[in-house]
């Protein structure tokens, strides 16, 4: 029987992954998975194995375990992830360096007995991930930001807005997000902010609306071109491809 649970959600996408070729794509996908796993395991709380992980082709979607303090998904996770991506980039060839966009949200999602997850929060997450302010933020600096993250207004209010220890409101920049029917004031974590490694860079909020994404949760995965529905269990993903292409 399906049940609904309140969960934190994270989505990651590798910026500029197109046209790198299959071998390089597989290498940078593996680098992101390793960096993210190490960053989650370094947090002192639930590790990567406690998160539901869905591979979306050029990124991934994470569903946090229940009762996880949401503030832990900002610090130490974001600084830890940025440090690991920077380390990868120092060793990588130009074609396998990483820049990662991240979107973070929370809400009531549906969990089916077969492991499928769905619900309206995934729609907001997809639009935040594809928003113009986030796409611009990840370009900050001469070589781009290792990680730029955007928080939904709900997630921001329940973490930064509550004054959790280690979360400095000055680390986040308010931006307007307008993607299709989704419109909200979201919050960017950007290079140089106090919560993350300081790079001396900043990013403004001037932007144009991003291209719209499909309007259903199932289409969140379809938009990547790698499947239209997924069922997941701890550490594994099961993706049903659509023969329509």
Residue linked to tokens 């935040």:
128
- Report the pLDDT value the prediction gives residue 206, as an integer from 0 to 100: 37
- Report the pLDDT value the prediction gives residue 18, as an integer from 0 to 100: 82
- Least trusted range by pLDDT, from 50-64, 101-115, 181-195, 229-243: 229-243
- Report the pLDDT value the prediction gives residue 66, as an integer from 0 to 100: 92
Secondary-structure breakdown of the chain: helix, strand, coil percentages, each rounded to the nearest 5: 30, 30, 40
Mean per-residue pLDDT over the chain, rounded: 78
Using the predicted structure, report yes or no on whether residue 182 has a pLDDT greater than 70: yes
| Cα(95)–Cα(98) distance, integer angstroms | 9
pLDDT in tens, 49-106: 999 998 888 899 999 999 888 988 998 899 999 999 999 999 999 899 999 999 999 9
Tokens standing for residue 106 = 């929370």
Using the predicted structure, report yes or no on whether residue 217 has a pLDDT greater than 80: no
| Cα(189)–Cα(171) distance, integer angstroms | 6
- Report the pLDDT value the prediction gives residue 63, as an integer from 0 to 100: 96
pLDDT in tens, 103-147: 999 999 999 998 889 999 999 999 999 999 999 999 887 678 899
Beta bridge partners of 100: 14, 147
> Can you list the domains of the chain with their CATH numbers?
3-240 (3.30.70.1230)
């Amino acid at each position: 029987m399906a049940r609904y649970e309140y969960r934190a959600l994270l989505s990651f996408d590798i910026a500029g992954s197109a046209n790198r070729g299959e071998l390089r794509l597989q290498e940078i996908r593996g680098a992101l998975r390793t960096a993210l796993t190490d960053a989650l395991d370094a947090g002192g709380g639930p590790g990567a194995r406690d998160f539901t992980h869905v591979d979306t082709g050029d990124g991934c979607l994470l569903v946090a375990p229940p009762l996880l303090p949401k503030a832990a998904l900002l610090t130490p996770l974001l600084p830890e992830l940025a440090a690991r991506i920077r380390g990868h980039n120092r060793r990588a060839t130009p074609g396998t360096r990483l820049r990662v966009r991240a979107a973070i949200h929370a809400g009531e999602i549906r969990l089916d007995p077969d492991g499928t997850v769905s619900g309206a929060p995934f729609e907001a997450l997809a639009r935040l991930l594809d928003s113009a302010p986030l796409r611009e933020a990840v370009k900050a600096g001469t070589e781009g930001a290792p990680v730029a993250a955007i928080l939904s207004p709900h997630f921001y209010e329940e973490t930064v807005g509550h004054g959790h220890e280690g979360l400095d409101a000055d680390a986040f920049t308010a931006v307007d997000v307008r993607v299709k029917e989704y419109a909200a004031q979201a919050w960017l974590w950007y290079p140089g902010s106090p919560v993350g490694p300081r790079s001396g860079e900043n990013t403004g909020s001037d932007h144009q609306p991003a291209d719209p994404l499909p309007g259903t949760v199932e289409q969140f995965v379809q938009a990547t071109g790698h499947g239209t529905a997924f069922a997941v269990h701890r550490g594994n993903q099961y993706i049903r491809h659509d023969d329509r292409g």
